[in-house]
Chains A and B, each alone.
Chain A
Amino acid sequence: MPGSLRITATTVDPGLLALPWDQPLELWGDEHIAALPKGISRHVVRLAHLADHVVAIKETTEVLASREYEMLRTLQRLQVPCVEPIAVVANRTDELGEPLDTALVTRHLRFSMPYRAVYSQRLRPGTAKRLVDALAVLLVRLHLAGFFWGDVSLSNTLFRRDAGAFAAYLVDAETGELFEGGLTAGQREHDLEIARINIAGELLDLQAGDRLEDDIDPIAVSERIVQKYRDLWQELTGAEQFEQSERWRINQRIERLNELGFDIEEFEIHTDETGTTVRLKPKVVDAGHHSRRLLRLTGLDAEENQARRLLNDLDGYRVRSASGADEEVAAHEWLTKVFEPVIAAIPRELRGKFEAAEIFHQLLEHRWFRAQSESRDVPLSEALTSYIDTVLRHRRDELTLVEPPTDAIQIVQGLEHPDTTSSIDWRDLV
């Protein structure tokens, strides 16, 4: 290994030095590579083993790698859901001293999946909509932070299960830019238009590959992000005006935002000169209303909808339990007497299927469905046994999901490929 590597890293991991930086990423052997990447990428991107975790490595120019590394660090500080940058490895050369591209290393997000891996055979309408909804929430959060993405797409996003929905994480910040003064309406609309076109392209591509259920209209699904985004943006940032006598509407707005998973850090309230009307506008909103409450009460770190689900169960436990009113005492009891025993009862070999919070949510769903079909209360312990045997055991591991293999292509390579295309009339497809 040449001795002139220049590594900028957030963590001191000796394993980083052991990776074969003197070889182009494309040539790294199986002993280092977790799998080929998925999604559609402009660069060579591969998943590699680093100590006890998996990292994504992208080859690009030094300027772009350093810029993206700093951008991801900034987004993390702003608490925007994104992958964690680990290092930039620059000044790489091969055995002959020829320069190699700089590498950006990010930590693979546990239990996250690219959109092409959330379905087993073909993408179903409900799943497609949930992916788009999650992307809309992510885009709103990025825009609230003043981040113009510039390449919004399902491919540039990773998805984690979130109690029947998905939570979206940004994985590619290469084209993004942070504007301290916030984004203009034009910038937000431009990102939204890019999202619409890219989502349509991605779904049309799945359709062309027979990976989309027949009753999905890719263009209609792509248009969904526009409405979802606008509705949420309006709810989070829009001003409303009401009479002084309707002050209850302040609480109503707070509850509505809480229900959407947001807390209001700061309001802007103006009254008119006569004091009869009030104008209310959220100034600073913060995502993670339920996640924060769950974390505070139990120390559990969960996605927003999972947290909502767990809190519902916790609140139900509190009502039923003898400990009565004290929320923190009840939370501690629920954690030690309900949640932890359930997770501890999951056989070790099945724990990589889903995150603990997702398993608990699915168990509650399973119990509810059984109770409905059998018209009786199903004890949690009974539901747990049947959930493990009839559901969990048959699901794939999603801890570090690396299948199916990639469809990625890099157009920045000059390799010729054999003609494998059948004789179709392109006009029929446009």
Chain B
Amino acid sequence: MSGITVYQDKCTGCALCEKACPFDAITMVDKKPVIDLDKCSLCSSCVEACRKFGAIEIIRTTTQTPDIEKYKGVWVLALQRKGVVQSVTYELLGKARELADKLKVSVSCVLLGHNIKDKAQDLIYRGADKVYVVDDPKLEHLLEEPYARIVSNLIRKHRPEIVLCPATSIGRSVISRVAVQLRVGLTADCTGLDVNTDERYLLQTRPAFGGSIMATILSKHHRPQLATVRHKVMKEAAVDPNRKGEIEVVEFDKSFFISRTKVLKVVDEVTSTVNIAEANVIVSGGRAMGGAANFKLLEDLAKVLNGAVGASRAAVDEGWIPYSHQVGQTGKTVCPKLYIACGISGQIQHLVGMQSSDTIIAINRDPSAPIFKVANYGIVGDVFEIVPLLTKRFQEIL
């Protein structure tokens, strides 16, 4: 029987559990905790809080992967696009190496694509001990069904204990399919990965509730443990051109390549038209922009950074830019990696819409503008002077 149990005899009524519960699921009644199972998400915060007395226990009975101890090795699913390995793969390789060294196991890569064999060596240089390559015209585009089928097959055969996959839009859907096929755990968008070397399990840290909280996730009883990681989260592995490793080209029967979906066209779009809710970089303008024409400066910066243009309500109400670009309480909530606020004072209505951005940069003439309180970096100055300089500088280095 799985569930959460309170051992009344061990409970001292200290109510630390009630305070620790992030979901308000515990109420003290007659100095004993009562847990509302409809609110409880079994996150173990109360168990942690009660470690001293051990009065709360979460018993998890679940089936375990058979021969779990036989699963060894850290894998990275290398993703390619138009025949080029996506650089996020190298970031995952860096992390994979670190984890593998702690576990004293090897790092392998799985590379699927078409005319891709020669890219396998790069993965060795970046830290892979072994690369499984599957090369077929049908694998030119990332398609969930054949990719998942092949990856699942390789995992079943070689039994890695950890598999890392880039959290690109397609990577995530491929690995989700793998997780279901193998009936194992998958943790998305990890910002931190570490291992418990005694018990050999992966500690996966990731944000939830729009970034308001961080959670540490485990998948103790199932192998492999799958995790996805986004671009620019981990550090890229260095290139070592002297590194040696093994490349194995794996052949698969054509039934493995069957796909009920097919890619008709691939389009690289200039991202200044990208929807701000999905953008990774947003350059946003406020009242100080002074007019619609001046938003061109922000468009130029956004273009160089591959980002979208946003606006505060003041700018939208003045008619300088359409509502679809508005960030703020009743506009769109955004959480890009980088948010550059230009001439935006930072009234709370706006902050609510963007404060969970990873990195916030503020450019404003007024040093006491509230935006500087939430910005990671700022420049006190005239946007009309600063923004073009930024554009030029980024153009130079990118």
Q: Do A and B bind each other?
A: no
Interface residue ranges, A against B (CB under 8 Å): none
Residues of B within 8 A of A (CB): none
